[in-house]
Amino acid sequence: MAIVNFLSDIRNAAIANAVIVVFHVYIAFAVEGVSFLVIVLPIGGLIAAAYFVKGKIGAALLAIPTIGYLFVVPSMFEALTTGQSGGDDHIG
């Protein structure tokens, strides 16, 4: 039961998401280019705000990037299945 309580804490979820944001900042500098930070930094801001705001508001702040990712999934699935990368041919 302690694991469930740990995983359901908004701050722990925000920390896990912050690790993902830090990885994406690295990807922005190493691969994609600095313009990729236009996407990463607002999401990082939402996650930082979710860390400091508790309760339902913090959960809603964490839900916003998740909802955004759901809009990206169909395009990502199409790119993976058809081989059309949608503009990332310069990478590699």
What's the domain range around 40?
2-82
Residue 71 lies in a domain: yes
- Number of structural domains the chain divides into: 1
Going by C-alpha positions, the residue among 22, 19, 18 that lies closest to residue 30 is 22
Residue 55 lies in a domain: yes
Which residues touch 65 (CB under 8 Å, ≥6 apart)?
Answer: 17, 43, 46, 47
Write the pLDDT tens digit of every residue in 24-64: 888 888 888 888 888 888 888 988 888 888 788 888 888 88
Residue 74 lies in a domain: yes
pLDDT for the residue numbered 86: 58
Residue 44 lies in a domain: yes
Residue 43 lies in a domain: yes
Residue 56 lies in a domain: yes
Residue 92 lies in a domain: no
The whole-model pTM stands at 0.67
Whole-Å CA distances, 60 to 15, 21, 37, 67, 85: 15, 18, 22, 10, 31
